[in-house]
Amino acid sequence: MSGAPYISVVGSGRASGELYELAREVGRLVAGRGAVVVCGGLGGVMEAAARGAREAGGVAIGVLPGEDRRGANRYLTYAVATGAGQARNLAVVCSGDAVIAVGGEYGTLSEIGLARKVGRPVVVLRGWELGPHVAVAATPREAVERAFGMIGAL
């Protein structure tokens, strides 16, 4: 394997225009720095992050909840099907060296909690404010810079 960092981008499967564009920009910036984008593989923020990654010439890997690759968004480079339902959220965050959460519904909250539980740094963009151990960023650029900074890959 190459030594490229992996950054998990998490967020709702339903994303409004602005949130979608923020996630897409996060994907672009992460891939532009040479990192692999990991996401939950479905729509909304997951799709936007994958789309951004591909637009920047990068790689997006989706980690799906179902028993096959159906439902995978079309921007993924590769997809893995876990068959484990919402337990796949753990796989999404374990696969990244850091996690960027864009917006946030409850699935996202679970991913932030799991990420911190397994020791991953987390940056939130337009979402949950969860105290000193979960960084908050105002822009995609700040989110990505903080995430790379926290894994020593600036």
Using CB under 8 A as the binding rule, whether residue 55 contacts a second copy is answered as: no
Non-local CB neighbours of 154 within 8 Å, separated by 6+ positions:
145, 148
Of the pair 40, 140, the CB lying nearest a second copy is at 40
- Among 111, 107, 92, smallest CA distance to 40 is for 92
**At its nearest, how many Å lie between a second copy and the CB of residue 141?**
26
Could you write out the DSSP letters of every residue in 82-101? Answer: -S-GGGHHHHHHHT-SEEEE
153 binds a second copy (CB under 8 A): no
Binding residue for a second copy (CB under 8 A) from 19, 29, 35, 90?
90
Which of 43, 66, 71, 149 is in the footprint of a second copy by CB under 8 A? Answer: 66
Enclosing H/E stretch for 51: helix 45-55
Look-up of token digits 């696969």: 95
Residues that bind a second copy (CB under 8 A): 1, 6, 36, 38, 59, 61, 63, 66-69, 72, 74-91, 93-95, 105-118, 128, 130, 133
